[in-house]
Amino acid sequence: MDRLLYLLATGLARGAVFALFALSLVLIWRAARIVNFAQGAMAVVATYVAFAVTGLTGSYWLGLGSALLAGAAIGFAVERGVMRFAPQGSPFSGVIIAIGLVMVLQSALGILFGQQHRPMAVPFDERPIMIAGVPVFSPYDLFVLVVAVAVMAALALLFTRTSLGLQLRASAFAPEVSRLLGVRVSRMLTIGWMLSAAVASLAALLLVPTELGLNPHSTDMLFVYAFTVAVVGGLDSPPGALIGGLVVGLVISLVTGYLGSTVAPIAVLVLLVVVLLVRPGGIFAAREARTA
């Protein structure tokens, strides 16, 4: 029982990060109809920025802020500098360009900073929080959960309650009509990319300290799992990303705890296959998946 509680808590904390990253993928998908395979690599660049800033100033919080800014800046640069050139005719040119971008960013980081893992410290107490005598969370895990939930709530508010959110949604779903109504669709697209990349950078920044340390490949698995989450939840659905994230986080944690860590990727694959066969557009797909 203790064991189960513990695994559930761990899975929840990890799942929150997956959900956040998956949400960033959903944002881009909704705005640009592109699965951004470069999201992980872009986020890791922003995390390097945060690492540098924290190293220079000694402040974790300045690093966190700079990661968000850097993430937005990278989103801007990628949208304006690269993705604009994706030919519209071919359905997967966006995916292929994004994959090219992953290669460019990761190898550039490798050339500049080398392959070694750089430890990232966090300003939190290492002592665990006990519930009923069972250590469930470290304070950092709690911080991760709170931040993830807060950011998701803020995004929900942004999209449903503000004029900017309305414009973002409008230009994603009906670009021509929105343009006629005076929405600057192109600018909305760029804002969507910036927002998404910033969220992804935050997720990466939250995850890296729990792993070996920062290196150019730090977000490889995060991307794969978050992508699974987004597909499981439905690429069109932000609530799907949230719930999918928690489901995948819990599945990985429970499978690792009870069956062994080697089985985890297989479990994720099985989950993906089952969901896709039952609902090819993801659990929360409102309608049949569009032709990508």
Hey, which residues between 76 and 115 contact other proteins (CB under 8 A)?
82, 85-87, 89-93, 95-97, 99-108, 110-112, 114-115
Binding window for other proteins (CB under 8 A); candidates: 61-69, 145-153, 156-164, 276-284? 276-284
For the chain, how many residues are written?
A: 292
User: For 112, how many CA atoms within 13 A lie in the half-sphere containing its CB?
Assistant: 12
Structure tokens at 189: 């697209």
Q: Is 162 left (phi over 0), alpha (psi -120 to 50) or beta?
A: beta
Shorter beta-carbon distance to other proteins: residue 97 or 191: 97
Q: Is 143 exposed, middle or buried (0-12, 13-18, 19+ CB in 10 A)?
A: middle
Choosing from 132, 133, 163, 277, the residue that interacts with other proteins (CB under 8 A) is: 277
Residues 6+ apart with CB under 8 A from 206: 17, 20, 144, 147, 148
Size of the site for other proteins (CB under 8 A): 82
List 7, 73, 200, 242, residue binding other proteins (CB under 8 A): 7
Does 140 participate in binding other proteins (rule CB under 8 A)? yes
Which residue lies nearer to other proteins by CB, 42 or 183?
A: 42
- The verdict on 210 binding other proteins (CB under 8 A) reads yes
Q: Which stretch binds other proteins (CB under 8 A): 1-9, 65-73, 154-162, 237-245?
A: 1-9
For residues 164 and 274, which CB has a smaller minimum distance to other proteins in the complex? 274
Residue 273 in contact with other proteins, rule: CB under 8 A: yes
Indicate the residue among 179 and 279 with the shorter CB distance to other proteins. Answer: 279
Q: Which is nearer to other proteins, 239 or 257 (CB)?
A: 257
Instruction: Give the whole-angstrom CA distance, residue 245 versus residue 22.
Output: 7
Site for other proteins in 238-257 (CB under 8 A): 252-253, 256-257
Burial class (CB in 10 A: 0-12, 13-18, 19+), 91: exposed
To the nearest 10 degrees (0 to 180), the angle between helices 163-173 and 139-161 is 80
Report in angstroms how near the CB of residue 162 gets to other proteins at its nearest: 28
Cβ atoms of 173 and 159 closer than 8 Å: no
Of residues 12 through 71, those in contact with other proteins by CB under 8 A are 14, 29, 35
For residues 15 and 228, the answer to whether their CB atoms sit within 8 Å is: no
